[in-house]
Amino acid sequence: MTSAVRRGELPVPEHARGPSRRELLPRGYFGRPVLTVAPALLGCVLEHRTQEGLVAAEIVEVEAYRGQSDPASHAFRGKTARNAVMFGEPGHAYVYFTYGMHFCVNLVCQGPGEPAAVLLRAGRIVEGEELAAVRRGAAGGAGAATVRAGEGSAGGAAALRAGEGAAALPARGAIARDLARGPARLCQALGIDRVQNGADVCDPAAALRVLAPPGFRGLPASVISTGPRVGVRLGAEDPWRYWVTGDPAVSVYRPHVPKRRAPLA
C-alpha cells in the first residue's frame, strides 16, 4: 500500500479516518465563493443521527450551483417557496424533491442574498453501513416497491433461493460502494428528506452535521477531478462538478442527451 501511495494510486488519503478525529465545520467554511467551497467539501463527512442510528458518508462527488447567474440553478428564476433556503444563511441544508420520488441535498454557500449551493452527488459510507443498506434496500419508495412487485424474475428468484429471510435482503445493487453513489441514493442511505430542508449543519447539536479533521482545508488538488455537471441542459459548459479521482463511489457520468421534441411521423 505504501508503494500505491507513492505511485499516487490511492485516491482517498488516510487523514479522514476515525470519528474522534473529526470536528464540526465552522459556518465560515461555507460562507465563501461556491466554486471554492465545492471542491473543499470533498473528503468531508456528512452525518445524520436519527432514532434508527447514525449513518455517515465521506463526500466524494459534488456540483456547484451558482445563484441567479447560473441558468442550471434552482435559484436562477428568483426566490420561491421551494428554493428559499438557498437565499438564506450559509451552512444550511437545501433539500428538494425531484422526479416524483427522489430527494437531493445541497449545502448553502456564500452569503445571504447570494443563492449559491453545493449539491452532494455521492459519498462513501464510513459509519452505519448496515443501517444504510437496510434503508437502501427496504425503505426505498417506488424503486423498492418495483423490486418486490417484480419478483419471479431472475433477481427475485435468486433472492428467494438465498434463504427464508429474503424479505430483509437489501436490493441487488445495494453493495457498499453503491449505498450512496448518486445524489438520491446518498439521501436515502442517510435518511434525508424534506424534514431536513433548512437544517443548520453547523449547529453542534444538530442531527445533520458536516465534519472534517481538525484544520481541514480540503483534499490536495492532485486527487480532485473536474468536469461538466450531470444532467443539466443550460450551463452544461461550466466544469463545476468535482470528484475524487478514481473513487469507486463516484456516480457514473451520463452526458446530457436532449430529448427529441416531436415524433418523426
Partner DNA sequence: AGAAAGATGCCCT
Partner DNA sequence: GGGCATCTTTCTT
Contacts with DNA by CB under 7 A lie at 63, 65, 72-75, 77-78, 80-83, 86, 94, 96-102, 104, 106, 117, 119, 136, 140, 142-143, 145-147, 150, 153-155, 171-174, 178, 182-186, 229-233, 251, 259, 261
CB of 61 to DNA, least distance (A): 10
Q: Which is nearer to DNA, 171 or 219 (CB)?
A: 171
CB of 21 to DNA, least distance (A): 29
CB of 126 to DNA, least distance (A): 19
Q: Which is nearer to DNA, 23 or 89 (CB)?
A: 89
CB of 98 to DNA, least distance (A): 5
DSSP the chain: -HHHHHTT---S-GGG--GGG-EEPPHHHHSS-HHHHHHHTTT-EEEEEETTEEEEEEEEEEEEE-STT-TTSTTTT---TTTGGGGS-SSBEEEEEETTTEEEEEEEES-TT--EEEEEEEEEEEE-HHHHHHHHHTS-THHHHHHHHTBTBHHHHHHHHH-TTGGGPPPTT-SGGGTTBSHHHHHHHHT--GGGTT-BTT-TT-SEEEEESTT-----GGGEEEEPPTT-STTTTS--EEEETT-TTSPPP----PPPSS---
Q: Which is nearer to DNA, 209 or 229 (CB)?
A: 229
Q: Which is nearer to DNA, 10 or 169 (CB)?
A: 169
